[in-house]
Amino acid sequence: MTLTELKHLYATQELVEAVVEPSIGDGYIVEFRHRRGGLVPLTDGAGSERCYSDIDSATQQAFEVGFHQVRIADEY
């Protein structure tokens, strides 16, 4: 989901947690736990998962959605 779509889900209290984890390639991805279960990844407009070069950049995206706390996962 795009940043705008995720902001809407956060505003309607559908997202309960933000998680930054290592990407399969190089970098980090941001995912959000939905209140009904499952993870929703941050994607671009084409639906591709966004990948960030460092934890700080990825964490900033979770803050943009509205979260004040982000869990950092250190393993796949």
Q: What is the DSSP annotation of 4-62? A: HHHHHHHHTT-EEEEEEEE-SSSSEEEEEEETTSSEEE-B-TTSPBP-BSSHHHHHHHH
Average pLDDT over residues 1-12: 98
Report in angstroms the alpha-carbon separations of 76 from 21, 25, 63: 7, 11, 22
Q: How confident is the model at residue 18 (pLDDT cuts 50, 70, 90)?
A: very high
pLDDT over threshold 70, residue 34: yes
Confidence of residue 17 (pLDDT cuts 50, 70, 90): very high
Q: Where are the domains of the chain?
A: 3-72
What is the band of 75 on the pLDDT scale with cuts at 50, 70, 90?
A: low
**In the predicted model, what is the mean pLDDT of residues 1-8?**
97
For the question of whether the overall pTM of this predicted structure is more than 0.85, the answer is yes
